Amino acid sequence: MVKNRNKESDEENNYVSLEGSTKNQKARTIELNKEAKYILQKIKYSRDSSLPDEFIVTTKTGKINTASNLEHRMKVIMKNAELQGVKGGLHIFRKTFATRMYESGARVEEIAAYIGDLESTTQKYYIAIRKKVVSNGEVRQVVKLPGIKEETTVA
């Protein structure tokens, strides 16, 4: 699980460092936009403690969140929202993040660095390409799922 600690932030320059036991053991420094910086500051200042070694997002008891703890929370939220049929767990957020970055013009190399994965894996599994399709006079967005190649026809 990735850990983000206060002492690893460079708030003046809008950077935050992530450390921890990711699957590829990569620590990374991420630039925050104004909104992300504001949210992070609100979380930090809403806690009882602001010790520099504190984890920023913790459980109610102040312990680090584990993957299984977050998956459980996700299931509860999905159930309460009556979205039990939605599949993907926490990876939904990685896919959405990667797709939105790609749609906003980010290169696959940049996206891979942000999510801490390989470029090939990022492109194959995390970026859903959207295409506009006109059908019966209506414009619709069709999401091409990661890892599925589009069929092409040769005239």
Total residues found in the chain within this entry? 155
Residue 127's pLDDT is 86
Residue 150 lies in a domain: no
pLDDT value at residue 87: 75
Alpha-carbon span 22 to 60, nearest angstrom:
23
Greatest CA separation for the chain: 67
The answer as to whether 133 is a domain residue is no
Residue 52 lies in a domain: yes
User: Residue 51 and residue 53: Cα distance in Å, rounded?
Assistant: 6
Structure tokens at 151: 């069929």
Domain that holds residue 108: 2-127
Is position 139 within any domain? no
Q: Is residue 54 part of a domain?
A: yes
If one counts every other C-beta atom within 10 angstroms of the C-beta of residue 116, the result is 19
What's this model's pTM, rounded to 2 decimal places?
0.60
Q: Is 127 helix (H, G, I), strand (E, B) or coil?
A: coil
Q: Report the CATH number that the domain containing residue 114 is assigned in CATH.
A: 1.10.443.10
Q: Is 49 helix (H, G, I), strand (E, B) or coil?
A: coil
| Total of domains in the chain | 1
Residue numbers in the chain where pLDDT is lower than 50: 1-8, 152-155
What is the DSSP code (8-state) at residue 150? P
| C-beta atoms surrounding 127 within 10 Å | 22
pLDDT at 63: 80
Give the pLDDT confidence score for residue 26 in this predicted structure. Answer: 65
Q: Is residue 138 part of a domain?
A: no
